Amino acid sequence: MITCETQWLRLMTVMSSHYNSILIRMMENILLQMQIEVLGTFTLFTGVLVHSGGVHGGHYYAFIRPTLSDQWYKFDDERVTKEDTKKALEEQYGGEEELPQVNPGFNNTPFKFTKYSNAYMLVYIRESDKEKIMCNVDEKDIAEHLRIRLKKEQEEKEHKKKEKAEAHLYTIIKVARDEDLKEQIGKNIYFDLVDHEKVRNFRIQKQLPFNSFKEEVAKEYGIPVQSQRFWLWAKRQNHTYRPNRPLAPHEEAQSVGQLREVSNKAHNAELKLFLEVELGLDLRPIRPPEKSKEDILLFFKLYNPEKEELRFVGRLFVKALGKPSDILTKLNEMAGFSPNEEIELYEEIKFEPNVMCEHIDKKLSFRSSQLEDGDIISFQKPSIPGGDTQVRYKDVPSFLEYVHNRQVVHFRCLEKPKEEEFCLELSKLHTYDDVVERVARQLGLDDPSKVRLTSHNCYSQQPKPQPIRYRGVEHLLDMLVHYNQTSDILYYEVLDIPLPELQCLKTLKVAFHHATKDEVVIHSIRLSKNSTISDVITDLKTKVELSNPDTELRLLEVFYHKIYKIFPPHEKIENINDQYWTLRAEEIPEEEKNLTAQDRLIHVYHFMKDPNQNQQIQNFGDPFLLVIREGETAAEVMDRVQKKLRVPNEEFAKWKVAFISMNRPEYLQDIDAVSARFQRRDVYGAWEQYLGLEHTDTTPKRSYTANQNRHTYEKPVKIYN
């Protein structure tokens, strides 16, 4: 039997590895205040609530023993599984676990891994109450509202299970009507006629005669069977989807399953139909008229240029040899225009990959215009050149082109990449100049060339490292595409000079580390691309405070807290990349200017061992260079390091020093000679050899609090453009 005191001690052990000592002392005080004799009466362990993960996220589940037996159950979302006592009670306390050695005969270092499952709540019942609590539960013991909910959930579960098991016996029939076209066109869709995912679905047995399905439709919509005429949809070669032909009487006599197989080449479980219903003078459904080969079913949309509105107004049967001029009066009636209103007609042909919408000659026959069943005609009042009302899209083709290419773009300031500032409705076909002109107008800028844009990385959800060059892309769509994904985010920045002028220059962000002050100042150096490192240093000297006017500077390349390169003064700056690597400028110490043949200039890095990564070395903080003398001991070197970094004695006493080669530390004693470890040449790779300072990284990441010591993670940062 596991008592409360035992479990409390286990939890305290786990918490001590995750929380600070203050919290632990608080927990100890709480334990002391609780009466042990009361805790001791709670001896039956009934539940363990577990969090698996870290401080930034994770997953919750529970181990429960619902009866007096030894059987435990794991409740993990909708899954419930049996678990043994060891799993429930002994493996939920975090810490580390050591895997058994595969080859016991070899002296292998055991592999340890962190366990991320931690119990955060323990559930007990009083020993004297266990018979009353751990008893069988009857239906009457469950609250009525819970019984109703559980019954409903079970019924839904059984219904879904039955539907899945019987899916092969059914066909889904999707029925589109005039009402669906009126509801969707101009709101959800503009091209084609209907979104079949938003129409009424019927789940019908395949063996059911289609005529029986029509009876179900009659009950659903109140449309008599004899007034129903169903059309099959067909996907055309231009990727449009239109009603193609009405069902023949012999087809309606077939079963639903047979009809689906005839009409559906894709062999999926759906049958898509259009329900044609004709109304009499009293607006009641009537029997559809016979359709001859000369009859063509056309669908009509009305466009209003002033409101930029497109809507479905109805459908008509026309004769193949008839002309559009024959139906103008009827179309005016459908639109609510005067009978003699002049209108222009356009055929909507396709919309992918490009919009095709052509003007219809009203003097030609429908057959001559190659119109057929299911075609769409959009019409409008003709635009008046120089009229009082200014419209953006004067006709149907220009409006459909706009709809097809319109794109709402969310703009963010590059300095605040997580905060949306404004949205603009643009066209994917807008040129580079169009886009920056709209952004400049939104920002109130007179010169659009001072706007620089950066594309969005859809995978990292961050700005791309390189901005868009001046007129470097043709259209807005090119700015938004990232591999096979399209974003709707762009980042902007306002420059102090026009972008074309800026692109002739090279801008470097250089972090200047002051020799005596605990701060880092970031400067933007803007020079001609033909400039050298020497030019950068000359320019930087005019912007920084030096310890001595004659002090020399050098430029370093720093990456992941290691120095990878010391730039030679003659190197060109054009190909230097400061997006991923930090460019650091610093004063060259006097001790480095007069090196002898026995002296060595070595790299010194801060490091700690990561307990979660099998004690691998993890670097942090500001790396630096240090001169070591021939025969100088570790104690002497560390004394100079302490003075250089100005670390208090109490803290520095906890530091260790190691010679590290190929990421393997060799810890040095005070009397060990340091220079003997390093090769008799300059170290040219940050990964080869360096002097490592092992200590705890106590500074919060990206924290720039004032008065930090130089040896901590980062110095305070100031940014000057």
Percent helix, strand, coil in the chain, to 5, is 25, 35, 40
- Residue 28, in any domain of the structure: no
- Tell me the residue type at 244: N
> Are 58 and 121 within one domain?
yes
Do both 120 and 254 map to the same domain? Answer: no
Directed axis angle between helix 4-16 and helix 21-33, to 10°? 170
Task: Please say which residue of 253, 286, 319 terminates a domain.
Answer: 286
Question: Are both 173 and 268 inside the same structural domain?
Answer: yes
Rounded to whole angstroms, how far apart are CA atoms 577 and 466? Answer: 10
Q: Are strands 582-587 and 505-513 parallel, antiparallel or unpaired?
A: parallel
Residue 19, in any domain of the structure: no
720 within a domain of the structure (yes/no)? no
Supply the pLDDT for residue 324.
Answer: 95
Beta-sheet strand order (sheet of 241-246): 200-205, 170-176, 270-276, 229-235, 241-246
The residue from 443, 475, 496 where one domain ends is: 496
Give pLDDT, residue 362: 94
The SS3 call for residue 17 is coil
Provide CB contacts within 8 A for 160, sequence distance 6+.
none
pLDDT in tens, 96-155: 666 665 555 555 555 666 777 888 888 888 877 777 777 777 888 888 898 889 889 889
Residues 679 and 617 in one domain: yes
**Total number of domains in the chain:** 6
Residues in Cβ contact with 44 at an 8 Å cutoff, skipping those fewer than 6 apart = 1, 124, 125, 126, 127, 130, 134
Which residues does residue 658 pair with via DSSP β-bridges, in sequence order? 667, 692
- List the chain residues with pLDDT less than 50: 1-25, 28, 31-37, 683-684, 686, 702-713
Residue 423 lies in a domain: yes
Side-chain half-sphere CA neighbours of 575 within 13 A: 3
CATH code of the domain covering residue 571: 3.10.20.90
Interhelix angle 210-221/256-263, nearest 10 degrees: 100
Round to whole Å and give the CA distance between 523 and 718: 9
Give the range of the structural domain holding residue 571, as residue numbers without chain letter. Answer: 502-588
Rounded to whole angstroms, the Cα distance separating 488 from 481 reads 9
Report which DSSP code applies to 145: H
Token readout for 336 is 């609510």
Report d(CA 557, CA 603) in Å as an integer: 13
**Residue tagged 């077939």 (tokens):** 254
Name the strand (E) or helix (H) holding 38: helix 36-39
Cα distance between residue 700 and residue 708, in whole Å: 11
End-to-end CA distance of the chain: 69
Q: What pLDDT is recorded for position 2? A: 45
Question: For the chain, what is the radius of gyration of the CA atoms?
Answer: 39
- 474 φ, ψ to 5°? -85, -45
Same domain (yes/no): 174, 274: yes
Which strand (E) or helix (H) includes residue 404?
A: helix 396-405
Residue 20's pLDDT is 40
* 150 found inside a domain: no
Alpha-helical (H) ranges within 542-648 are 634-645
CA atoms within 13 Å, Cβ hemisphere of 69: 9
Residues 482 and 569 in one domain: no
Cis peptide before 353 (omega within 30 of 0): yes
Distance (Å, whole) CA 586 – CA 487: 41
Question: Are 280 and 177 found together in one domain?
Answer: yes
Do 443 and 533 lie in one domain? The reply is no
Asked if residue 260 and residue 330 are part of one domain, the reply reads no
For tokens 């019924």, what's the residue? 155
DSSP 547: S
pTM over 0.85: no
The CA distance from 167 to 175, in Å, is 19
Tokens of 563: 């120095």
Nearest of 606, 541, 553 to residue 584 by alpha carbon: 553
**Does residue 492 sit within a domain?**
yes
**Residue closest to 298 by CA, chosen among 338, 227, 346, 359:** 346
Alpha helices in 166-226 (DSSP H): 178-184, 210-221
pLDDT reported for residue 404? 93
Other C-beta atoms lying within 10 Å of the C-beta of residue 719 = 12
Q: Could you tell me if 450 and 546 lie in one domain? A: no
Give yes or no for a contact between 490 and 463, defined as CB atoms under 8 angstroms apart.
no
What type of residue sits at position 322?
A: G
Strand pairing category for 406-413 and 664-667: unpaired
Is 719 part of a structural domain of the chain?
no
Residue 396: inside a domain: no
- The dihedrals phi and psi of 204, each to the nearest 5 degrees, come to -120, 140
Note whether 541 and 571 are same-domain residues. yes
Domain boundary among 588, 609, 643: 588
* Rounded Cα gap, residues 485 and 498, in angstroms: 31
- Pairing relationship of beta strands 481-482 and 485-486 according to DSSP bridges: antiparallel
Rounded Cα gap, residues 656 and 653, in angstroms: 8
> DSSP letter at 675?
G
Q: Are residues 120 and 2 in the same domain?
A: yes
In a 3-state reduction of DSSP, which class is residue 569?
Answer: coil
